[in-house]
Amino acid sequence: MMKKLLLIGAVCLLLLMAASAAAESTTVMVYLCGSNLESLYGSATRDIQEMLHSGLDGTQTKVLIMTGGSRAWADVSIPPDSTCIYALSPKAHGGGLKTKLLDSAPSRNMGEADTLSYFLNFCAEHTDTDRAALILWDHGGGPVNGVCWDENFGTDHLALEEIVSALSNSPFAENKLEWIGFDACLMSSVEVASKLSPFANYMISSQAEEPASGWDYSFLQGLENDADGGETGKRVVSTFMEVFPENYPSKVTMACTDLKNIDDLAKKTDAFFTTLKDQLTNTTYKEFAAIRQELESFSDKERDLVDLGEVIKKYESFAPAEAKLLMESYEKNVISSDHNKGVATGLTLYFPYYSMLNYNRVKDLYQKIDFSDGYLSFLEQFGKLQATSFVDWTNLSDRSSGPVRDTRTVFTLQLTPEEAANLAESTLVIVRQCADEAGNVFYVVVNPDGETELEDNQLIGDYVHSALYAVDADGQILNELPLRWTRDAEGHYVIE
């Protein structure tokens, strides 16, 4: 009987030791740049409240928050003219958590690397945990536009290089973060993943624009029991996506990427686009461009962010062997990804097409990301061919007509067979000539994005809206600019 009791006791001891070993203390650093998301909507304050009521115990998981970047806070205890660091600490009585002020200083620019670096170093000095994680909270703009717009400093923001600089000047240059998260739009890109891979094991982020409500911070509960950042990331993806069903009006995404093997993904990307570049010629450009148009955009088209997984599949026929190896590496690195509609496999790629002028502006900045030499060479070749005129597109106005055909408001443009063969894309844009009181003429776009179709070498654009004017008793137009209106699903007129 004594042996049985000893055996049971030994088993219980082993179980307790295993449970203790599984629990990992973590410091979660939240860089909360409120911006107009807070001053207009109180979004940052709501997320702080979510953290306070998330169910975390405040001992194994420590949360430190830097606040700033907003002209006004819904939580009036947070001063808009100061940059503060708070800890979520257990209440003395009654359970639950409260915010405890640890540091306060006159406003720092949260769009500067030094401010982020200060926060990272402060957290490292004032906590002693097994692991650390960082959340960057605010607007996001992808690899070329960065994150965290401080409205107290002219909407200055953190460029990707500044995030790298801040991390390089912190203890996490040597001791990696377990994960880095972006509670921000458009930051789940392969370029961002590549640049941050020396500083974190995992990245949690969204390819698409995030709703203002942002992450569901209930994921903090039980964080100490996660084996690694990948397990945490999967829970962030799950809790975030549970809120947004398929019928939610906007596209919503979330993903967790393993950054430990991102170098392999970069090498495979390099080989894939090197082969594509060899296939890209004057003859094949139209096919390449047509595929590029088919790629689903994240946010507006001019941002030129597309899904890397879709890029691999769409261009696979030009480099099948390289595409297979790249897809295998890609799927290994993206360990969790979910979305409510459209295409989203985890990471975007900046693929300039709709805004080559913007690419020329940020070209030097993008090249500094240094993700893939093969991809940069491909972009150079693609851009040169895009700027090449294979036919003479001048004097087209002599061949246009409109605006009426049958009962539809239609504009047409007759093309030659050569022009039709080299047409990649067209849009119907309608402008109205106006004049101010001094007689200065200016033009206002009435229809910016009309759809067109090509029939028998003829471009046809259909104006599907109606223009609404106010007129006096004599029929004279009173308002200089027309108002566009449509009818909604219930038959109501909607002024745009």
- Nearest Cα residue to 211 out of 47, 52, 39: 47
Distance CA 88, CA 62 (A): 7
Residue 64 CA: distances (Å) to CA of 48, 79, 124, 161: 11, 17, 11, 24
In three state form, how does the secondary structure of 297-314 look? ECCCHHHCEEEHHHHHHH
Query: Strand (E) positions, 138-266?
Result: 147-150, 156-158, 177-183, 200-205, 253-258
pLDDT of residue 1: 44
Beta strand 61-68 pairing with 26-33: parallel
pLDDT value of residue 281: 95
Does a cis peptide bond (omega within 30 degrees of 0) precede residue 403?
yes
Given a contact cutoff of 8 angstroms between Cβ atoms, the answer to whether 441 and 434 are in contact is: yes
The list of the chain residues with pLDDT below 50 reads: 1-21
* Residue 131, beta-bridge partner list: 26
Q: Under 8 Å CB-to-CB from 23, ≥6 apart: which residues?
A: 60, 224, 225
- Torsions phi, psi of 412, nearest 5? -130, 155
Sequence-ordered list of residues with C-beta below 8 angstroms from that of 434, at least 6 positions apart, any chain: 441, 442, 443, 444, 480, 481
- Name which of 67, 143, 158, 64 is nearest 111 in CA terms: 158
DSSP 78: S
Listing from the earlier edge strand, what are the strands of the sheet with 61-68? 97-106, 82-90, 61-68, 26-33, 131-137, 177-183, 200-205, 253-258, 334-339
Task: Check: CB of residue 97 under 8 Å from CB of residue 62.
Answer: no
Residue 267 corresponds to which tokens in the numbers above?
A: 């090498």
Predicted pLDDT of residue 446: 72
Q: What is the pLDDT of residue 431?
A: 80
Q: Taking a C-beta distance cutoff of 8 angstroms, is the pair 164, 196 a contact?
A: yes
d(CA 192, CA 181): 11
Q: What is residue 106's three-state secondary structure?
A: strand
Report which of 128, 122, 127 is spatially closest to residue 103, judged by C-alpha positions.
122
How far apart are alpha carbons 274 and 18 in whole angstroms? 49
Give tens-digit pLDDT for 220-245. 999 999 999 999 999 999 999 999 88
